[in-house]
Structure 1
């Protein structure tokens, strides 16, 4: 009997449009001979199943079921494609765990930890993972720009602590622009992280569970046409994403080993993508994504293709790993 698979997309953050694209890519590639896929849109004002005619049917949140034609449908498994809250910060994972519904993401604690850049970096620094020098601010804190610059220097990056797709991020080159950058980040989150500028080669490394094994995908080198790898560079083609990266075999092994180590230290499962800047032959971790983009333009699917893994294999393997 075919298994009913809910593909969760949308979300509560600025990333919802990217999530809808990711979810629809997964929907197109799941094997219809084995699975019945259902597109589930999760928004603050509604949770709905959207059929092929774009008609919407409410989700019963008590047991995460739908009844589009008066006949109740329960889900055997869930593919989480929500970037940002509530799909990447642990809320959906905890909800599904309480209902005993298997899902493709990491656990709720790991999701919450990695979504919080400050907490994640603090944990990994204790394991010897190199990171940029950072300064933390919460909304309402007194802001002393001299103290910030004394610690992280200029240029620096000001980031929303819990956000993705480069929302709420600015590169600051001069002291006079720091306050505006901080205000910009606080529009996206009530916590921010200010980091020293790392001048080096930026790379991204996907790590997945594939056929029962932790698999590090080919490394991608990121060359942005803009001042940094911002939203336009990520999604509007204003960057070169070179896979495999133009690194020596030794450096490729070093950054791949670090990505695997991060995956294992954090006890992740499913998909992840971690970002690094290589400075003086040392990879410095920027962040870890546990629900990376899955659109045609996204990095992890590019890496999987380079490894000989098609989108069909990539997404169906994630469901097969649930052992429904």
Structure 2
């Protein structure tokens, strides 16, 4: 039996969603093969939490815990932390330093994909198209006219390094731009302002399944709200249609781009890339390396459409990490 630490929580606004994801992983592992442990990672404590909610500190020297005088060590870590420090490379680097296998990509890929601006600029030379964008850092002078002349209206204002649509606004009118910028700065000190792409939004899961880079059936997102925001993602204010209602030809085209991005970046583990298709041309928005694993989340929906159960999906990630 392999001891598996499922890390969840984190230091960002996404910690609640991460706790749900982590518990879904916990409930769906094959108990005949794995002995799962819920490990909560928060700024003020790293603890193993048992079935009775008792907490045991994690020793950061070797990522072990001691219960009733007995030391528990882990064979592998299943990373279910959305946002920092699980999705931005910090935990990945720590696990690499202590020689602990973990299910996510490596630290460089995590840091790169977590930074939307850097990710898109690295992928551009490979012919992957993106929206027109304008960058701001906290403290920069804000020239509204210059921004609008570059990206136009409506436009999106996003924190550069945040997930679950926290801090994102869709701006329709010039006078709303300063408020949107302020909202984004609450999540991050770097901002990306992007032109609005009017098209079909699809989300594409790419994973290493049994040693082969596999594109899962993609999901088409039809938000009831103005865009695919937090409510649309988690509170049912959207239709998520898997597989997406696009032609086979277009499905193949988008899938090939998502797969190319995965391979170009030398990714491991899970990835979920978001695209907007305009006039049969896919434009990439971002890539998530610790996508949601809740029952409502897109990647589990896509795996189900491919005939992969959650037990297989999670077990596969652990087996590949252990290799």
Equivalent in the alignment of 1:157? 156
C-alpha separation in 2, matches of 1:21 and 1:140: 36
C-alpha separation in 1, matches of 2:104 and 2:173: 40
1:209 paired with 2:208, answer yes
Aligned residues: CA RMSD = 0.6
Q: CA deviation at 1:322?
A: 2.3
1:25 paired with 2:45, answer no
C-alpha separation in 1, matches of 2:83 and 2:67: 28
Moved over 2 A (4+): none
Gaps of 5+ in 2: none
Q: CA deviation at 1:31?
A: 1.2
Q: CA deviation at 1:142?
A: 0.5
C-alpha separation in 2, matches of 1:71 and 1:50: 15
1:101 paired with 2:75, answer no
Equivalent in the alignment of 1:110? 109
Equivalent in the alignment of 2:217? 218
C-alpha separation in 1, matches of 2:149 and 2:193: 12
Equivalent in the alignment of 1:272? 271
C-alpha separation in 2, matches of 1:69 and 1:29: 27
Contact 2:131 2:197 in 1 (8 A): yes
Greater CA deviation, 69-78 or 152-161? 69-78
Equivalent in the alignment of 1:227? 226
Q: Note the 1:29-68 alignment, pairs <5 A.
A: 29-68=28-67
TM-score normalised over the length of structure 2? 0.99
Contact 2:76 2:322 in 1 (8 A): no
TM-score normalised over the length of structure 1? 0.99
C-alpha separation in 2, matches of 1:52 and 1:71: 17
Q: CA deviation at 1:34?
A: 1.1
Q: CA deviation at 1:69?
A: 1.5
Q: CA deviation at 1:251?
A: 0.5
Equivalent in the alignment of 2:78? 79
Q: Secondary structure at 1:322's aligned position in 2? A: helix
Q: CA deviation at 1:323?
A: 3.1
Equivalent in the alignment of 1:119? 118
Q: Secondary structure at 2:321's aligned position in 1? A: coil
Q: Secondary structure at 1:157's aligned position in 2? A: strand
C-alpha separation in 1, matches of 2:221 and 2:31: 35
Contact 2:5 2:39 in 1 (8 A): yes
Equivalent in the alignment of 1:239? 238
Deviations 1:150-189 (A, max 9, x none): 1000000000000000001000000000000000000000
Equivalent in the alignment of 1:190? 189
Gaps of 5+ in 1: none
C-alpha separation in 1, matches of 2:33 and 2:314: 13
Q: CA deviation at 1:260?
A: 0.3
Equivalent in the alignment of 1:134? 133
Q: Secondary structure at 2:94's aligned position in 1? A: helix
Equivalent in the alignment of 1:199? 198
Q: Secondary structure at 1:287's aligned position in 2? A: strand
C-alpha separation in 1, matches of 2:81 and 2:230: 17
Equivalent in the alignment of 2:294? 295
Deviations 1:4-63 (A, max 9, x none): 110000000000000000000000111111111100000001100000001111101111
Equivalences, count: 323
